[in-house]
Every structure is written in structure tokens, then in C-alpha cells.
């Protein structure tokens, strides 16, 4: 059927042929399609038929602007023969039979579009399942660990630096995987599980890959969160599947990153009537599998977490995670080793001193140091240098420690004076204090983290113990900026907010944690909130008040006494060196940044040490 064709009576067709309005016809088995000539007048009755049969029939086609198609159905054979003769006599073009389009319409109008939509949907679901967490119901119980063969892992212990103690403990695991007969001959067995504990970025995952690289065994890597799904029982099924696959590929290593996602303590989530949710079932299955597999087969379970205090005690008992290896932040020697490892991939200038860089980055993890080297390389490329020099490394360290320079933030002359006096106050107290770390750099360039300036000190060595006098000097340096403002401007600004918080916290820890109060004696009033295995941060003050109100008042009095004593000492020191304070601040405003050597030279010329 031709779209838009209007059915007319046979008599009407005869009349149109006689009037010479027919352009061409297509004769079929049971109907004739007639196309009228263009530019002819269409009768009103034909227009009415068109409106009745084809409501959406274009109006312009009825105006004769182009040929219009009509049809006549159910023609007897004799009448069709007579009609053909009349058309031939009238000069009408006859072009053959009308094709039966039922099957074509069915194929192209329904079957092919539906098949195309189904194929598109299948491809879409396959792409989603590959690139996201979507899984079909048939594969929900399959483990999602990434399996690396011994050829895929090129990382060895030579690529891991700064954690020599951890490497020494883990070499035993490698030796067992290489020659297990030595241990089995004496009746020894390798630990079933090894838990790597440490702050983020210290190289726990890298160490696990290095063990597999050294031992040349397959490596199963999976995150703890990948076990958990919305369907109960899926996590347990994935744990079973993971251990089954590992047994088939033994000797091998299973590594579960972020173990706390699946191994959280069940005591914290216990309900009055008991609760067996997905996470608890997954943890139970993990415990069962750790009890069931034989380490002599050569399957070693490694796990990593930076929150060991939240793990379930059943995971940490003997026979499961037998060994816990602390991967802590590197010390100054470790930072130097890490920098030397990653400096192999960077073209360094001859003037680079990595030892100085390692000394000025206390608290940096291995990931932070990698980021530092990369930032320095990017900075050197932007400035068109042929290699990464010491200036690029120092600026990259400043960016990571203090934030990005914001030279577009223009300070008013008065704010600039206050910031310069404030920072020189810190630096001057540090240089005049016996136990303070040496000053490395002073700057009044605003930074993206909100700081309007900073004073950076460079520790000469890693310190693990501090005396009362050393802690008091640290408080003195923190108060130096505020006291300098009070001496020069006769009032303090809001710029010392962070300094006051740190000084108060340090003084309170002297009283409540370290027992450095003559009034209260050797007592501790703190509740350690840090990790059981990590020395992360200082203990927090106990908020449960396991002491009397009178003791609380004494604690406040002792904290105030420490701060008041140090404040008085700093005031005397800076008042005595007021001229040097003003001159150094003037030089800092001119240069915006001064290094420690230049400050010390100026101080030697301008000050009198008291």
C-alpha cells in the first residue's frame, strides 16, 4: 500500500480516465493504484474522501502541486481488462503489478527494528558489566580479584625503599614460597596471614606486589569492599570462590587491600536479637577459609589496612593473621632512600641535594615524596629547564606543605606589615631559642590553603623524645608571631589563630599526657585514641572526665601557667631585639622570601643575644 493513497469507487476512476486527469497506474492482483497529473483541480468529493480516510493527508497534495495517488480495490477480472483498454486509449502509462508488501512491512517494520534494539541492549549491558560494578545474577558469586601471573609483576624489593624493617620481615615469606621444604623439614610452618599496618601512602600495596615479584608466584589482588554486595550471601560466595581459585594456582599470594571494609568488628554492630547481615556473613566465611586452608600448600594471605583498631578480634588471633608488620612513615634516612629510588625516573640537575630535601619533609609518606618529585618535574618543564634543579624541588615541597602560591591576592600595606612582623616573630624566636629547630625559610607570599605567610623550620634529626624545655621552646616559637604583633602594633590580629590552637594543645598535653605539672604530679588524664599498632598523632584528652571538677580546674590553671610563663619569656626576648625584629621584617617585605642562612647572617649583624 502506497502511503497516503485514498480509496475511490470504480465509477469515479472511469470518470477520471475519461477527463484525462490520470498520469499513470500500477495494476495489481486485487487493486489498482492511480496517480493523477499535477497542476489539476481536485474535486470536492475527492477532498472529502481524503479527509475521511487519511486525516493526516497533506493539504498541499490535494491542491495539485504534485501528483496524487488513489486506489480502487476488488476489481473483477473482466472489468479490469476493459479498464486497461480505456487507459491505453487515453494515453495513460501502465507500469505493472502492485507488489504484495505484507512480508516486507513485517520484516522491515517490526522484526529488524526489534532485533536491532535487542542487540544494542545486549552490547550496552556487556560494556557496563566490563567497565563498572554491574554484574549479572549468574556471576554474582564469582570473585572479582585481579589475577597477575609471575610474568606480569616486575616489582621487587629493590623498588621499595624506606621500610627496611618491614622488608626484612617479609623476606621470610619469599624464602618460604621459593623453598618450602627447608621449613617443612624442621616442622615449621609459615604464618597463614600477614597483616600490613600503616598510614596511607606508606607502600603497603607495593610491598605485597614486591613479595609476589620476588617469589615469582601468581598474585590475587582484591579490595575488601569488592566482597560486599546488596544481596546477602554474595560476599561469602566470593570468598569461597577466591580461595578455591588460589588453591588451584598454588603457590600464590592473596592480597586483600583495605581489610577493614570487610573485617570490621562484629561487636560494634551487634543487635539485641543478633544480626547476620551481608558484611557479617562475609567476615564469617573469611574466618572459616583461613582456618581451612593449609599454608604448606603455598597459599599466603596478605592484607593491608590503616585502621587496625576496628578489625574483629577473631581475625587477629593466632592461627589467622599470625604476623603483623608495621609499615610506618619513613624517617629521614628512609625518605632519602625513597627519593633516590624515584629520582631514577627524573633528570636531575647537578646542584640537587636530596639529603636536604629529605630533612625538610618530615611526616611525608612514600606517596607524598613521589608526588613531590612529579610536581618538581612538571614545574621544571613549565619553566623550560633542562633538568629538575634544587629550586624546583624546594618550590614543589613548599606547594605540598603550604599550598599553591597566590600572588594574585594583593594584601593592603597594613596587612603586609602585620604578616611580615608576625612571620619574623616566629623566625626570630626560633633562632634565639636553645632547643628550637633551625629556620629554613620565611615567606609572606599568600598560599591557597588560606595562609598569608609561613615560617618553615628544618629539623636536624628525627626526634622521638622531647624534654620539658624543648616543648616550651616549641610553644615559644608558636607564640612568637602574636607577641611580635603586640610589641610593634600594641594589639594582636586574628592571624595567630592556628598558632594559639597548637600552643594550647601542646601545653595541655604537657599537663594531661606527659605529667609535666609540678602541681598535679606524674598523672595522666588522657585517653589514647590512636591505633593499637601505629603511633599516629598524639593521644586525645579524655572527654569522659574520670577526675573531679577540682582536678579539672587545676589542669586549666596549669595550662594557663605554662602559656603565661612562655608568653612572658617571648615578650622579653622580642622586646630586647625589637630593632632587629623591625629591620628583618622590612627586609622580608622587600624580598617576600628569606632563607635561613640569610636570616642568620642579618641577625648576627643586628641583634644581641640575651
Active site residues: 423
Is 20 annotated in a binding site? The answer is: no
Angle formed at CA 263 by CA 262 and CA 266, multiple of 5 degrees: 110
3-state secondary structure 204-273: HHHHHHHHHHHHCCCEEEEEHHHHCCCCCCHHHHHHHHHHHHHHHCCCEEEEEECHHHCCECCCCCCCCC
How far apart are alpha carbons 211 and 192 in whole angstroms? 15
Is 495 annotated in a binding site? The answer is: no
Is 422 annotated in a binding site? The answer is: yes
Residue 604 buriedness (CB in 10 A; 0-12 / 13-18 / 19+): exposed
Question: Under a CB-based contact definition with an 8 Å cutoff, are residues 393 and 352 in contact?
Answer: yes
3-state secondary structure 447-482: ECCCCCCEEEECCCCCCCCCCHHHHHHHHHHHHHHH
Q: Which of 361, 263, 356, 370 is nearest to 307 (CA)?
A: 263
Contacts of residue 29, Cβ cutoff 8 Å, sequence gap at least 6: 97, 98, 100
DSSP 196: E
Is 203 annotated in a binding site? The answer is: yes
How far apart are alpha carbons 297 and 286 in whole angstroms? 18
3-state secondary structure 315-345: HHCCCCCCEEEECCCCCHHHHHHHHHHHHHH
Is 204 annotated in a binding site? The answer is: yes
How far apart are alpha carbons 538 and 541 in whole angstroms? 9
Question: Under a CB-based contact definition with an 8 Å cutoff, are residues 424 and 442 in contact?
Answer: yes
DSSP 355: H
Is 201 annotated in a binding site? The answer is: yes
DSSP 305: E
Is 202 annotated in a binding site? The answer is: yes
Contacts of residue 386, Cβ cutoff 8 Å, sequence gap at least 6: 347, 349
Q: Is 296 helix (H, G, I), strand (E, B) or coil?
A: helix
Question: Under a CB-based contact definition with an 8 Å cutoff, are residues 423 and 588 in contact?
Answer: yes
How far apart are alpha carbons 62 and 40 in whole angstroms? 9
Give first-to-last CA distance, the chain, whole Å. 110
Q: Which of 421, 458, 425, 464 is nearest to 441 (CA)?
A: 458
Angle formed at CA 481 by CA 423 and CA 513, multiple of 5 degrees: 120
Is 9 annotated in a binding site? The answer is: no
Is 499 annotated in a binding site? The answer is: yes
Is 515 annotated in a binding site? The answer is: no
How far apart are alpha carbons 422 and 481 in whole angstroms? 4
Is 205 annotated in a binding site? The answer is: yes
- From residue 16, alpha-carbon distances to 94, 267, 597 in Å are 15, 94, 110
* Cβ neighbours of 142 (radius 10 Å): 14
Annotated binding site: 198-205, 422, 426, 499
Annotated binding site for Zn(2+): 422, 426, 499
Annotated binding site for ATP: 198-205
Amino acid at each position: 500500500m502506497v502511503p497516503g493513497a485514498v480509496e475511490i469507487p470504480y465509477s469515479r476512476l472511469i470518470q477520471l480516465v475519461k477527463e484525462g486527469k490520470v498520469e499513470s497506474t500500477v495494476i495489481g492482483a486485487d487493486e489498482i493504484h492511480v496517480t493523477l497529473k499535477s497542476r489539476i483541480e481536485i474535486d470536492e468529493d475527492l477532498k472529502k474522501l481524503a479527509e475521511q480516510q487519511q486525516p493526516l493527508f497533506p493539504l498541499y497534495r490535494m491542491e495539485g502541486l504534485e501528483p496524487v495517488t488513489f486506489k480502487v480495490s476488488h476489481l473483477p477480472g473482466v472489468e479490469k481488462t476493459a479498464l486497461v483498454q480505456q487507459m491505453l486509449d487515453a494515453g495513460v502509462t501502465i507500469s505493472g503489478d502492485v507488489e504484495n508488501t505484507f512480508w516486507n512491512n513485517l520484516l522491515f517494520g517490526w522484526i529488524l527494528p526489534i532485533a536491532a534494539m535487542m542487540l544494542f541492549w545486549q552490547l550496552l549491558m556487556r560494556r557496563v558489566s566490563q567497565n563498572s560494578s554491574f554484574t549479572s545474577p549468574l556471576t554474582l558469586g564469582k570473585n572479582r580479584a585481579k589475577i597477575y601471573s609471575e610474568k606480569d609483576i616486575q616489582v621487587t624489593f629493590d623498588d621499595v625503599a624506606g621500610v627496611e624493617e618491614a622488608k626484612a620481615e617479609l623476606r621470610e615469606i619469599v624464602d618460604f614460597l621459593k623453598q618450602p621444604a627447608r621449613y617443612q623439614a624442621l616442622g615449621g610452618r609459615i604464618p597463614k596471614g600477614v597483616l600490613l599496618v600503616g598510614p596511607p601512602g606508606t607502600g603497603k600495596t607495593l610491598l605485597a606486589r614486591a613479595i609476589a615479584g620476588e617469589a615469582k608466584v601468581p598474585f590475587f589482588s582484591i579490595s575488601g569492599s569488592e566482597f560486599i554486595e546488596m544481596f546477602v550471601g554474595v560476599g561469602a560466595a566470593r570468598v569461597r570462590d577466591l580461595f578455591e581459585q588460589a588453591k588451584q594456582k598454588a603457590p600464590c599470594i592473596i592480597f586483600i587491600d583495605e581489610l577493614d571494609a570487610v573485617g570490621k568488628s562484629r561487636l560494634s554492630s551487634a543487635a539485641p536479637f543478633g544480626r547476620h547481615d551481608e558484611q557479617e556473613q562475609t567476615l564469617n566465611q573469611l574466618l572459616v577459609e583461613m582456618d581451612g586452608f593449609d599454608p604448606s600448600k603455598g597459599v599466603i594471605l596478605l592484607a593491608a589496612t590503616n585502621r587496625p583498631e576496628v578489625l574483629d578480634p577473631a581475625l587477629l588471633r593466632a592461627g589467622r593473621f599470625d604476623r603483623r608488620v608495621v609499615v610506618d612513615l619513613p624517617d629521614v634516612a628512609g625518605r632519602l632512600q625513597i627519593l633516590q629510588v624515584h629520582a631514577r625516573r627524573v633528570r636531575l640537575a647537578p646542584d640537587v641535594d636530596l639529603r636536604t630535601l629529605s630533612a625538610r619533609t618530615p611526616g611525608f609518606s612514600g606517596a607524598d615524596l613521589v608526588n613531590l618529585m612529579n610536581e618538581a618535574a612538571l614545574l621544571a618543564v613549565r619553566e623550560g629547564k633542562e633538568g629538575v634543579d634544587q629550586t624546583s624541588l624546594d618550590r614543589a615541597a613548599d606547594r605540598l606543605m603550604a599550598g599553591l602560591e597566590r600572588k594574585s591576592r594583593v594584601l593592603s600595606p597594613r596587612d603586609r606589615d602585620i604578616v611580615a612582623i608576625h612571620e619574623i616573630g616566629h623566625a626570630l624566636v626560633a633562632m634565639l631559642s636553645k632547643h628550637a629547630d633551625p629556620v629554613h625559610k620565611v615567606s609572606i607570599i599568600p598560599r591557597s590553603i588560606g595562609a598569608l605567610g609561613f615560617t618553615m623550620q628544618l629539623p636536624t634529626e628525627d626526634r622521638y623524645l622531647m624534654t620539658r624545655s624543648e616543648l616550651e621552646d616549641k610553644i615559644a616559637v608558636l607564640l612568637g608571631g602574636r607577641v611580635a604583633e603586640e610589641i610593634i602594633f600594641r594589639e594582636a590580629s586574628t592571624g595567630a589563630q592556628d598558632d594559639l590552637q597548637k600552643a594550647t594543645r601542646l601545653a595541655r598535653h604537657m599537663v594531661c599526657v606527659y605529667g609535666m605539672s609540678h602541681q598535679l604530679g606524674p598523672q595522666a588524664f588522657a585517653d589514647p585514641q590512636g591505633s593499637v599498632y601505629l603511633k599516629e598523632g598524639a593521644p586525645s584528652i579524655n572527654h569522659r572526665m574520670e577526675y573531679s571538677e577540682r582536678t579539672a580546674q587545676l589542669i586549666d590553671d596549669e595550662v594557663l601557667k605554662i602559656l603565661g610563663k612562655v608568653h612572658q619569656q617571648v615578650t622579653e626576648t622580642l622586646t630586647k631585639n625589637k630593632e632587629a625584629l623591625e629591620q628583618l621584617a622590612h627586609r622580608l617585605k622587600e624580598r617576600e622570601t628569606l632563607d635561613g642562612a640569610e636570616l642568620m647572617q642579618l641577625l648576627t649583624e643586628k641583634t644581641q643575644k640575651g
